[in-house]
Amino acid sequence: MLLIGKVAIVTGGGSKRGLGQATARLFAEQGAAVAILDRDGEAAEAQAKALGDGHLGITCDVTDKQSCMAAVAAVEQRLGPITTLVNNAGITQPLKVMEVSGDHYDQVLDVNLRGTLYMSQAVIPLFTQRRSGAIINISSVSAQRGGGIFGGPHYSAAKAGILGLTKAMARELAPAGIRVNAVCPGFIDTDITGGKLTPEMLEQIVAGIPMGRTGRAEDVAGCCLFLASDLSAYCTGSEVDVNGGSHI
Ligand code: NAD
């Protein structure tokens, strides 16, 4: 058990077969008390309940600073001192560059990038006081190589922004004992990607993956577990690929 005594927040964990849910489940199995935050509060509660006793589901819109602050205060009060934050909430829009309006840009940047900043700002004072804490930001292979049929160029930009934010926070916060790392998943079969693919599209995607298969939510959860645990005590500012070799 790698996370005994840890209290972890996973944002965007309400999606039944998403990366956040798989991460929350693995963290709970490894001994952490887990708070699932999602803008869909009912889904967050249902997923937290599925983890068993001692976990929490809370409504939180990561684009709203007050909502982030209130959720973090509620987790501290009900589960105890937070040790770990996984910034996983995200949205995509399958658009080409000339189709991206100002509203599209705001929506995608707000959830992915602003949300990561606001949630981090909500926990950093607590982590700083305790001189300990781990932040894990979910970026994407779309940040590294662009493209991808689901994301859109503004999604790639937001996810690349997350990599910059991760490195800047890692550098600034290392002296305070806080580690900040990013995970870059490749194509993972979840609600964001699932159900929208023809067999030809899937064949084309798999052809670009050296390991010859799409990823599973559990593949990403395993990486988050490493970065949340003391096994990664000397890792900060890193960008870990979980993509079957699609960006080598
Ligand atoms: P998903 O759609 O299954 O889950 C995303 C969750 O985020 C949903 O539960 C949704 O309600 C929540 N959410 C959206 N806006 C929110 C907001 N404003 N506040 C709080 N919660 C909000 O998606 P997923 O595939 O599990 O993706 C999880 C993360 O992984 C995202 O950041 C995504 O960009 C990233 N990612 C996914 C893939 C993939 O192939 N699935 C690849 C690379 C990166």
Which residue among 11, 16, 19, 165 is best mutated to probe the pocket of ligand 1, counting the most ligand atoms within 8 A of its Cβ? Answer: 19
Which residue among 11, 39, 85, 144 is best mutated to probe the pocket of ligand 1, counting the most ligand atoms within 8 A of its Cβ? Answer: 39
Distances (CA, A) of 213 to 50, 142, 186, 208, 245: 28, 17, 11, 9, 10
Average pLDDT over residues 190-207: 82
Mean of per-residue pLDDT scores for the chain: 96
The DSSP secondary structure of 3-72, one letter per residue, reads: -TT-EEEEETTTSTTSHHHHHHHHHHHTT-EEEEEESSHHHHHHHHHHT-TT-EEEE--TT-HHHHHHHH
Cα distance between residue 237 and residue 115, in whole Å: 19
- Count of domains forming the chain: 1
What's phi and psi for 129, nearest 5 deg?
-55, -40
**CA 18–ligand 1 middle distance (angstroms):** 7
Which residue among 190, 206, 218, 224 is best mutated to probe the pocket of ligand 1, counting the most ligand atoms within 8 A of its Cβ? Answer: 190
pLDDT value of residue 194 = 66
Q: Do residues 91 and 61 make contact, with C-beta atoms less than 8 angstroms apart?
A: no
pLDDT at 198 over 90: no
**Interior/surface letters 180-204, b for 16+ CB within 10 angstroms, e for the rest:** bbbbbbbbbbbebbeeebeeeeeee
Ligand 1 atom at minimum distance from 191 CA: 3
Average pLDDT over residues 40-62: 98
What's phi and psi for 74, nearest 5 deg?
-65, -40
pLDDT at 197 over 80: no
Q: Which residues contact 155 (CB under 8 A, 6 or more apart)?
A: 92, 93, 108, 112, 140, 142, 148
90 DSSP 8-state letter: -
Would you say residue 242 lies in a domain?
no
Structure tokens at 237: 């500012």
Would you say residue 143 lies in a domain?
yes
What pTM value is reported for the model?
Answer: 0.98
15: Cα within 13 Å, side-chain hemisphere:
20
Question: Residue 119 is part of a domain; what is its CATH number?
Answer: 3.40.50.720
Domain coverage including residue 205: 7-236
**CA 119–ligand 1 middle distance (angstroms):** 15
Cα distance between residue 24 and residue 17, in whole Å: 11
**CA 15–ligand 1 middle distance (angstroms):** 8
Q: Name the more confident of 195 and 97.
A: 97
Looking up tokens 């501290």, which residue turns up? 76
Would you say residue 185 lies in a domain?
yes
**CA 173–ligand 1 middle distance (angstroms):** 26
Would you say residue 245 lies in a domain?
no
Would you say residue 167 lies in a domain?
yes
- Quick one: pLDDT band at residue 190, thresholds 50, 70, 90? confident
Query: Is residue 155 annotated as part of the catalytic site, yes or no?
Result: yes
Residue nearest to atom 33 of ligand 1 (CA): 90
Ligand 1 atom at minimum distance from 61 CA: 19
Torsion of CA 133, 66, 118, 71, to 10 degrees: 40
Ligand 1 atom at minimum distance from 185 CA: 43
Ligand 1 residue neighbourhood (C-beta within 6 Å): 11-12, 14-15, 18-20, 38-40, 60-63, 88-91, 111, 115, 138, 140, 185, 187-188, 190-193
Cα distance between residue 9 and residue 22, in whole Å: 13
For residue 178, what are the β-bridge partners? Answer: 133
Average pLDDT over residues 125-144: 98
Would you say residue 96 lies in a domain?
yes
Average pLDDT over residues 100-117: 98
Would you say residue 248 lies in a domain?
no
**CA 184–ligand 1 middle distance (angstroms):** 13
Would you say residue 84 lies in a domain?
yes
